[in-house]
Each structure stands twice: as C-alpha cells, then as structure tokens.
Chain A
Amino acid sequence: MNKRTTLLNRVSWRTRMGVLASAALLSCALPMGGGGQVMAAECPAVTVADDKGITGAYPYQFEIAEFQEKAECTLSFSENPAIAELNAQINGNPELPPVAERLPEEPLVYAPYNEIGAYGGTLVGLSKGTESGTSDLLSIRHVNLVRYSDDLLTIVPDVAKSWQWNDDYTELTMTLRKGHKWSDGAPFTAEDIVFWYEDLILDPNVYEKTSDRWLFAGEPMKVEAVDEITVKFIFPVPTPGIINRFAVDYGQPFQPKHFLMQFHGKYNENADALAAEKGLADWGELLAKYYGGSDWKDIPTPLLSEFDDVVVPTLESHIVIADTSTGRELVANPYFHIVDTAGNQLPYISEISEQYVKDVEVSNLKITNGEVTYKQQALFIENFPLLKENEAKGNYTVDLAPAFGQNIFYAFNTTVKDEVLREIFNDIRFRQAMALAMNRDEMNEIVFLGQGVPMQSMPVEPLTVGFVTDEQKNYFIDYDPERAKQLLAEMGLTDANGDTILERPDGKPFIIRLLYSNQGAPVRLHELTRDYLADVGIRLDLKEVSSDEYRAAGNNNDLEVTTWKNDGVAAPAISQDVTAMIPPFGDYFNPGNGFGWAAWKTSGGTEGIEPPEDVMKLYELAEKFIQVPLGTEESDRLGGEIVDIHIKNLWKIGTVGEVVDPVMHRNDLGNFRKFTAKTYDYYWTYPFRPKQWFLKQ
C-alpha cells in the first residue's frame, strides 16, 4: 500500500516533472527586517526572477500594505495610456476617474515573473465556437475569490483579501477589498455575493432546480453579508474543500447586483412588464439574456443576439465588447484590482481577440504561421512533433506539461437504452474483456508518443493525491485478447455464422457505435480501439460529431459508449465536488456512465434504473469524503475505498495515464513561465498569472 501523504505525493510528481518548488514559499518564513515606518520612496520593481529580498506571505504577490511596509515605499499608480480609448469601447461605461480612484483602496500587488511589462497589444486566441473550447481563453481573464499559486499547492488571495475557517469547517468568512469596483465603476460589495447565491442560484425563476454542486448534503448554504467587505458562508455540513472550489471553479460566486436587479422580479416589480415589452414571457427570460442560467462566462452575451448593446459588468481583467458568430473581442477592464510592483494597473495586454476555429487543422496552421499568441486547450500530443518543428517559422515555443485527468476512458453505458446491450454491458466479464482487449503499450507509443503510462481509469488524478496504489493503477491493464475472447465466450457471445463478428443474444451482429468529438480524445486512439475490439469480435463503428452533439446525445442517454478525458479529478476538484465519483461519473460537458442510476437517485427511485449495491455505497462514501479535509488519514481511507469500487467495476475503462500535452505561446508573450500542469482542474492558465503577461513590441 502506498500510504504517503497527499503533500508528499504532490511534491513527488512536481519534482519528477522537474519543476522547482516555489522558492517564495520557503523564504516567506524568513524574518524580514525593517517594517513599521513607511517611507515615501520609489518602490523597487520586484519580480519573481529578482525579488530584491522582498517576499510576502504568499508566493509572488502582496497586499499593498504588506508590500509598502516591506519595501519601505509608497506605491504610486499608473495606467494603460490607452485606457480611455478602451473604456470608450465598453458600452454604457461613464468617463473614467483617475486610476487611483478606480483601484480598490487595497489593490493586490503582483510581482511579475521576469520584468515590469509594457502596456498594449492584442492577445489572439482560438476557441471552437461561442460555447465550445472556450475555457482556455476564459481562464486568462478569469478571477475568483481565491486562486491556486503556480505551485498548485498554495491558495492565495485574489478578489478576496483573506479568509478564515471556523474549527469544524462549517463557516467560512471572506474579507473583500475595500473600494473594489465593477467594470462600470459601481462598488463591489458582499451584497453581490449574497445576490449571486440567494437571488440567482437559489431562485427557481433563474434555475428551475438548484445545481447539486451548490447544495451541500442536499441543503443550501447560507450566505451572509456581515458588512460591506465581509461575507460569511455557513454550510450545513463540514465542507473543507469549498475553498478549493473558489480557487479553481469556472463559476464566480459574485454577480453585479446593481446591474442585474433591474431585471429581477424580487427587486424590480416592473421586471415582468419590462420583459413583456421586449417580447419575453417573464423576468426570468429577461434576466437570462444577461445572466444565461449558468456561471459560464461564454454564454452568449446580449451583443450576440443583438438583444442589447451592454454586457454584464465584470471583475475580470477583460470585458467583452463584441460578440459575433466568428469570435469575441475584449478590452482591458479599467477597474481591475491588481497592480504590479511598480504600481502599473494590470492587465498589461489591452485587448483579447478570440477567434472561432472549428477545424483542428486550421487551428494548427494558424499556430505554425505564428498567428496565435497562446493556446493549450485541444492541443494534443499527436501534433507535438509538427508544432515543435515549426517553432522557428512561427516564432513560438511549445512546451509539454503534465495533463491531469488525461487518461482517456471508454465507458460502456451500463444503462443504455438498447436492452440487449444493457444486459451485456452490465456483465462485469464484458467490461473486463474490453479492458483486456486494449493494447495500452501500443496506444502509448502511437498516440502519446511514448510519454504516458498505461493505467486504469479512476475518479481521481493519482498525481495529485496520495491514496492511489499501484495495484489499483494496474488493475486489468494487461493486453490479453485471448483471455478477453474467453470471457466473452463464457458470457455466451459467440460467432456462429463465421463473419468474425460475435452475435448478440438476439441474433443481431454485435456492433457498438462510438460517437466522438475530436475535442475529447485523439482520433487515432479510437481507431486503435476499433482494431482491438475487432480482434475480439466486436465491431466498433466510429462516427465523428461536434462536442455539442456528443454532449447532447450523452446527456440524453443516447450514447452506447462515452469517451473523453477525465475532467474534475485533480485534488482541488474532488475535495469539494464528487461529480466524478458518483453516477453519471461526469457532468454535462463530460458525460460518463450510469445515467439511469443517476436518474433513479435524483428522482428518489421513481425514474431510471435502480443502481447496484456498489453504486449505493459510492453515494455514501462520496458524501463523507468531501466532509473531511483532503490529505488526512480519514480522507485517504475513504478515497482509497472509492477508487477501489471504481476500479473493480470498470465503469470507465482507462487507457494511458500521466500523459503530457503541448502548451504553446508566441515568443513575444512576455512574463510567460512554463506551466507546471495543463489542466482544466486548476482552470487552465489561472494559476499561471496571465494578467501579468505582456506583449513585447
């Protein structure tokens, strides 16, 4: 048994990847001289590369008071010289007050990685469509209450200045920044957080049903505004992992009350009339035009549908000014709350141009031609040689970073609508046969260029937790087609008519249709899987569809096999969200397996299919798992049990784990540091501080 602690294991993967542990973490413990007297001197341009002996409580960033005290100086602020022009492009924004009035009284101070950047320029990025393949670029402008530092271990302040837990992890108090403003200049207060939860997440006019992820043991939390800058989250059960969610989640637990209340029936009794005026049924529909029923920031803005010419104010570093079917344009938020150590308001980069490119080949061409400033999402290792060989031509650099959860799975839908298939898929011998039919070493060589490790699928990323044993990783990963055939024969599946395809019990040929999107996994992997399955007598028909079609079919329980990478399985994700652990073993964007079971559970047993005992046990274990802090003995025990149940049942059949994937950035992108991980689970770029990136002229 591998009984290392979480931290130890995390350090071990980090070291293995050759990433230096955060020096700042160690040095912050050193006593700092001086203090007390603040001198009105020019502040030193502290960077990560040259910290000039000044380090704060958290790696690479300071609270302004902390910085001024340690550097014995007073920071004077400056702004992007083009900020007035940028502001003019934001519809509805008034003229700008001076920068010192736009910043919070207590701005966050970033030490840039290498140098104080220069303002200006446009970052060009690629997405697949309005709501497809966008999270990579969203993460560049993203902010949340807190953030993971680039060591992926330390949680550091962002929108919130500080936070405090009570002893049993049921009460979290967050302190915001005094004078923090929305992108239209209106004050951001604790009320905006209460509004988000009470009036959006919990309001049945906005969400028909509150998403399970914002309920805790089935109960809502309580959000209280203690004063303007203090907010209290009170949970019905211990929820120690929620701080991790506030660090890595796409959703922001704050919405501009001052703006959205005009469309909200609770605050504006004329909201329904306003909706009727616009030809909408009720205020819920009207509100949805601005706050689209999810916390995703890529939901179509009113600009796209030409419903309105204003967008919802934001706290992010950039705000959308144009939204069309071919892309989005964004400009810097003039009220952004972070400055660098020289007092320059971030972000340095003035504009972001997000272009939609569906075709992966076009996307590759744009990259090799040097038309793209930065991209990581949907860059697969199969194209790494191509990208690497064209580095000089396109003036960019492509690195490899460990991709968490990239162990691509094949899940044979155990609650599939076709009853004959369902019976077969529910037989563990079938799933074992499928696991044995795959030649993972060959997959690794051909698809992952030999960089991965053959591994079974599990609802946690073994690189980020300490409780996964080698035994679990290696369960049923041997390539043994003969044994697979034997298992199938034991089930009574034989090829009676000699056409090399087995017959199902109802006499039809055993054919499984695999719909896939190229966003989920490299196509070559599916081709190999098709060949492996053909070798044991099962015809797998491949059909490529868009991610949207795949997801729609998956969530409608129309897929016979689902295949994708595993999202939401790294430590911060599983510490607060058990989506990956319980049916359907994934979310809307990454449908897994057992939709019928999930339906049974949510409907209280009136719909769907009654789950087997193991699944019932999982529900129980998962609920306990998120109530204990990750890395404790109890957490490891529960986690180990959960993994065990998953492994033994092979609901998702794993392929190759510990995969690395490409991350590209053009060489004119300054202050870019090689990523220590390429993963949605820490929200892509968010830990790597894209706000201090700049474009070299």
Chain B
Amino acid sequence: MAQDAATQINTEQTVSEKDLRYYTASQWQLVWWRFRRHKLAMLGAVVLLIMAILGAFAHFFAPYSVTARNGEYIMGAPQIPKFWDANGVSLRPFVHGITTKRDPVTLRKIATADPDTRRYVHFFVEGEPYKLLGLIPMNIHLFGLDEGKLHLFGTDELGRDLFSRTLFATATSLSIGVLGVLVAFVLALIIGGVAGYFGGPIDYVIQRLTEIVRVIPVIPLYMGLAAAFPKEWSNIQVYFAMTMIFGLIGWPTLARRTRSHLLGQRGEDYVLAAELSGASASRVITKHLLPSFTSYIIVDLVISFPYMILSETALSFIGLGLRPPSVSWGIMLQDAQNIRAIEQAPWFFIPAGFVVLAVLAFTILGDGLRDAADPYSVSSH
C-alpha cells in the first residue's frame, strides 16, 4: 500500500511531456493517435486518398477523354512502358511502335509491336483541352506518347483507352458512394435521434415509417425509379437522382441503431443534468447523446461506402444506372459481360480490381477507425 502510493507519487513526479500531452489530448486527438498505429487501416486510407485524387483530377491524370477512340488499336492489350529492350537501355520509358493488321482467317485485328521503333513516354504533355474540376481550362495531361497513343490498361471494343475510362469511372463511382452515404447518414442521425430521444408516439410513427422503407425490395425499386427518369435528364441529373435514391434507401439501419442507443441513454443522469440546465432537445442529442456513440457511427458510415459503390455498380451493370457516355465502374464491367471479353480481352476486367480494392480499403479503414474510436479499447500510449 505504502509502496503503491510511493510509486504513484514517483510517477506523478516524473510525468513526461508525452504523458502530459496524452492526458490533456482531446477525444479526436486520441482517436487519431490510435488510428495512426493501425498500419492496415492507414494503408486503406492512403489507397482511398490516392483513388480520390486520381478521380478528382482524372482529366489531368488520364491521357485521353472518355469517348476518344483509337481506331488503330481496337481491343488492344495493355501496353507496359519499358526502360530497355534488345536495342539497349533508355532512361526515358518507352513502348514499341505498333502496326495492326487483320488476321485473314479470324478477321481479328492483331497488333504487332515493332521492336525497332520506340515511342517515348513524355510527362506533362499537351492534349485534349478540359476544365480541371470543371473550372480551370487546361490541356496538360500527366503523360502521353511523343507519337501515337499509350494504353496502360489496353483498349475496349471501340478502341477507347481503358486507363482513362477507369479514372473517370473512379470519380463517378466514389463520389456517388460518398454523396449517397452522406445523405443517408444525415437522415439516419436526424430520424434516429428524434425517435430515440422523444420516444412515445413520435417514435412509434417513425418506426412504422422505417419499416415501410425497409421492406421495399431494393433492386425492383431501383429499376422502377431508373426507368422513370425522364429522358430529358442529363447524365448529371441522373447521377444526382441516383445519389439521392441511394441515400433515401440507405438510412433505416443506422437510424434504428441510433434510436435504440438513445433510448437506452436518455434516462442517464448526464442527460437529465443537461436538460435541467436548460439544453434544448437538439443540443442534448447532438452534444451529449451522439458523441457517446461516435465509434459506432463512424464504422457504420465507412462500412456503408462499399454498399453504395456496389449498388451503383450493380445498377449500372444491369443497365439501369448511369447512361453512357458517362462512365462508372458498373458501366465498364457491363462492357466486360460478354464471352468475347472473357476469351479475347481479359483486361476489360481491370475495373473490377478497382471495385475490389475500394471496397477492401473502406472495410479495413472502418475496422481501424472503430478500434481507434472505441473509448474502451486498451490505450497504451
């Protein structure tokens, strides 16, 4: 006993600056510190960040536009820049020049690389004009060939560059996911919060409403709504409509969980204390009740992204989502759903890798965030 006390005193005396920072840190700082140590989650975050940047600046990173066709390289295989070949080493990456001719028997266009011609990869080249982020007119693309076109992921049946298309698709699919989740998230917190805090008849009505939304079969609903989009709508309108639909369908689960959590918490002393101090209902919900629930909300949020992305992919895959020439992962995979692609152009499936990667990244990110945000997790600083 005495020894314990002595140790404690001792500790207090030698409290380091690091410890001090720990004890005085805000909740969010603690979360961040714990999260940083979660290597896998960090990796997920980095992957998503890269994807987001690639998507947001797709016009810059993509060498060509979504609909640009290369008639000389139809259903062409991915081209990988090299630094050396039989003719020696080059510091500047290059690909071999290509000549295409039709196979007289199968009538397939066969591209043969000419090992003696080199097409060098240049960076920051001028290309098709575009508006960066829809604002800044530019015509500089990250890379391009000095002559001809470079197709890192190959080309599709119309000779369109799959790398460029994948980047634009990334922008569409990720942003639909993010926007959809945000709509669902806000709705869930408001609806769940109100139901849980007030309870009684309000709760009853909201719960029945939730059930109605929950029992609507999702795919037929999507199909009905997508078919009902007026033909005059531009792709941007369809895009936002789809986002809204995903959001309006996605809220019930989180709303239910929020509600049950609040129902359990609203009788606690600290809520009573807040109420007695004259806090309004919205203040009690947002400042006192929801923060006790942060870790769960974060996880739910992050885990929802893949669902949104997959919904969009599924919808576009069955041809009900965005219309070409807009491009999303689903639309690209739709192009891959034929035997020609499977047998003769497996690179059509590269976007599927992006879907898998994004979903995985979101999942491990959510996992890491949950660990980091959980106040009860062991916190060895």
Q: Do A and B come from one complex?
A: yes
Contact present for B158 and A389 (CB under 8 Å): no
Contact present for A530 and B325 (CB under 8 Å): yes
Candidates A361, A530, A544; contact of B339 at CB < 8 Å: A361
Q: List 23 A-B contacts (CB under 8 A).
A: A361-B337, A368-B339, A383-B340, A385-B106, A385-B107, A385-B340, A385-B344, A386-B343, A388-B107, A389-B106, A389-B108, A389-B343, A389-B344, A445-B71, A449-B107, A499-B234, A508-B232, A511-B232, A524-B158, A531-B158, A534-B67, A541-B231, A542-B323
Contact present for B108 and A385 (CB under 8 Å): yes
A509 contacts which chain B residues (CB < 8 A)? 232, 234
Interface string of B206-247 (1 = CB under 8 A from A): 000000000000000000000000011010000000000000
Contact present for A534 and B323 (CB under 8 Å): no
Least CB distance from A183 to B in Å reads 39
Given A368-B339, A385-B344, CB of A446 within 8 Å of CB of B158: yes
B102 on the interface (CB 8 Å rule)?
A: yes
Least CB distance from B374 to A in Å reads 48
Contact present for B71 and A446 (CB under 8 Å): yes
Of all chain A residues, the one with the shortest Cβ separation from B159 is A446
Q: How many residues of A contact B (CB 8 A)?
A: 34
A527 contacts which chain B residues (CB < 8 A)? 158, 324
Contact present for B339 and A365 (CB under 8 Å): yes
Given A446-B158, A531-B325, A544-B319, CB of A451 within 8 Å of CB of B232: no
Candidates B71, B324, B339; contact of A386 at CB < 8 Å: B339
A693 on the interface (CB 8 Å rule)?
A: no
Least CB distance from B360 to A in Å reads 29
Q: Using a CB–CB distance below 8 Å, which chain A residues touch chain B?
A: 360-361, 364-365, 368, 381-386, 388-390, 442, 445-446, 449-451, 499, 508-509, 511, 513, 524, 527-528, 530-531, 534, 541-542, 544
Interface string of B118-161 (1 = CB under 8 A from A): 00000000000000000000000000000000000000011100
- Give the complex CA separation of A364 and B337 in angstroms: 13
Least CB distance from B319 to A in Å reads 7
Q: A450-B102, A527-B158 are in contact. List 14 more A-B contacts (CB 8 A).
A: A361-B337, A361-B339, A365-B339, A381-B107, A388-B105, A388-B106, A442-B69, A445-B71, A499-B234, A508-B232, A511-B232, A513-B231, A524-B157, A544-B319
Contact present for A364 and B323 (CB under 8 Å): no
A544 contacts which chain B residues (CB < 8 A)? 319
- Give the complex CA separation of A680 and B253 in angstroms: 57
Contact present for A542 and B324 (CB under 8 Å): yes
Given A361-B338, A449-B102, A508-B232, CB of A442 within 8 Å of CB of B71: yes
Contact present for A364 and B232 (CB under 8 Å): no
B344 contacts which chain A residues (CB < 8 A)? 385-386, 389
Of all chain A residues, the one with the shortest Cβ separation from B105 is A388
B254 on the interface (CB 8 Å rule)?
A: no
Closest 5 CB pairs of A and B: A385-B108, A388-B106, A449-B107, A385-B106, A386-B340
Least CB distance from B105 to A in Å reads 6
Contact present for A364 and B325 (CB under 8 Å): no
B74 on the interface (CB 8 Å rule)?
A: yes
Contact present for B340 and A528 (CB under 8 Å): no
Of all chain B residues, the one with the shortest Cβ separation from A441 is B71
- Give the complex CA separation of A528 and B103 in angstroms: 23
A388 contacts which chain B residues (CB < 8 A)? 105-107
- Give the complex CA separation of A445 and B102 in angstroms: 10
Least CB distance from B86 to A in Å reads 30
Contact present for A531 and B67 (CB under 8 Å): yes
Of all chain A residues, the one with the shortest Cβ separation from B343 is A386
A442 contacts which chain B residues (CB < 8 A)? 69, 71
Given A524-B158, A528-B158, CB of A384 within 8 Å of CB of B324: no
Of all chain A residues, the one with the shortest Cβ separation from B235 is A539
Contact residues of B: prevailing secondary structure: loop
Given A361-B338, A446-B74, A541-B323, CB of A384 within 8 Å of CB of B232: no
- Give the complex CA separation of A10 and B158 in angstroms: 35
Least CB distance from A527 to B in Å reads 6
| Most interface-central of B103, B107, B319, B337 (chain A CB within 10 A) | B107
Q: Which of B327-381 contact A (CB under 8 A)?
A: 337-340, 343-344
Contact present for A384 and B158 (CB under 8 Å): no
Least CB distance from A446 to B in Å reads 6
- Give the complex CA separation of A646 and B157 in angstroms: 33
Least CB distance from A273 to B in Å reads 46
B105 contacts which chain A residues (CB < 8 A)? 388
Least CB distance from A59 to B in Å reads 31
A385 contacts which chain B residues (CB < 8 A)? 103, 106-108, 340, 344
- Give the complex CA separation of A515 and B343 in angstroms: 29
A390 contacts which chain B residues (CB < 8 A)? 343
Of all chain B residues, the one with the shortest Cβ separation from A531 is B67
- Give the complex CA separation of A513 and B231 in angstroms: 8
Contact present for A451 and B107 (CB under 8 Å): yes
Least CB distance from A659 to B in Å reads 12
- Give the complex CA separation of A365 and B338 in angstroms: 10
- Give the complex CA separation of A530 and B160 in angstroms: 14
- Give the complex CA separation of A530 and B106 in angstroms: 28
Of all chain B residues, the one with the shortest Cβ separation from A560 is B231
Of all chain A residues, the one with the shortest Cβ separation from B319 is A544
Contact present for B338 and A384 (CB under 8 Å): no
Interface string of B47-77 (1 = CB under 8 A from A): 0000000000000000000010101001000
Contact present for A511 and B231 (CB under 8 Å): yes
- Give the complex CA separation of A446 and B76 in angstroms: 12
- Give the complex CA separation of A528 and B232 in angstroms: 21
Contact present for B232 and A446 (CB under 8 Å): no
A508 contacts which chain B residues (CB < 8 A)? 232
A531 contacts which chain B residues (CB < 8 A)? 67, 69, 158, 325
Contact present for A446 and B339 (CB under 8 Å): no
- Give the complex CA separation of A413 and B234 in angstroms: 23
Least CB distance from B321 to A in Å reads 13
Least CB distance from A660 to B in Å reads 9
Least CB distance from B48 to A in Å reads 32
Least CB distance from B345 to A in Å reads 10
B337 contacts which chain A residues (CB < 8 A)? 361
B67 contacts which chain A residues (CB < 8 A)? 531, 534
| Most interface-central of A385, A446, A524 (chain B CB within 10 A) | A385
Of all chain B residues, the one with the shortest Cβ separation from A383 is B340
B102 contacts which chain A residues (CB < 8 A)? 449-450
- Give the complex CA separation of A442 and B70 in angstroms: 10
Least CB distance from A282 to B in Å reads 39
- Give the complex CA separation of A530 and B234 in angstroms: 15
Of all chain B residues, the one with the shortest Cβ separation from A449 is B107
Of all chain A residues, the one with the shortest Cβ separation from B340 is A386
| Most interface-central of B69, B103, B108, B339 (chain A CB within 10 A) | B339
- Give the complex CA separation of A496 and B232 in angstroms: 17
Least CB distance from A413 to B in Å reads 15
Interface string of B81-118 (1 = CB under 8 A from A): 00000000000000000000011011111000000000
- Give the complex CA separation of A388 and B107 in angstroms: 9
- Give the complex CA separation of A445 and B105 in angstroms: 16
Given A386-B344, A445-B71, A446-B158, CB of A534 within 8 Å of CB of B325: yes
Least CB distance from B222 to A in Å reads 16
- Give the complex CA separation of A499 and B235 in angstroms: 12
A534 contacts which chain B residues (CB < 8 A)? 67, 325
| Most interface-central of A450, A513, A528, A541 (chain B CB within 10 A) | A541
Least CB distance from B354 to A in Å reads 22
Of all chain A residues, the one with the shortest Cβ separation from B323 is A541
Contact present for A530 and B340 (CB under 8 Å): no
Q: Which of B263-280 contact A (CB under 8 A)?
A: none
- Give the complex CA separation of A542 and B67 in angstroms: 15
A383 contacts which chain B residues (CB < 8 A)? 340
A365 contacts which chain B residues (CB < 8 A)? 339
- Give the complex CA separation of A542 and B324 in angstroms: 9
B324 contacts which chain A residues (CB < 8 A)? 527, 530, 542
Least CB distance from A84 to B in Å reads 42
Of all chain A residues, the one with the shortest Cβ separation from B337 is A361
- Give the complex CA separation of A451 and B337 in angstroms: 25
Least CB distance from B70 to A in Å reads 11
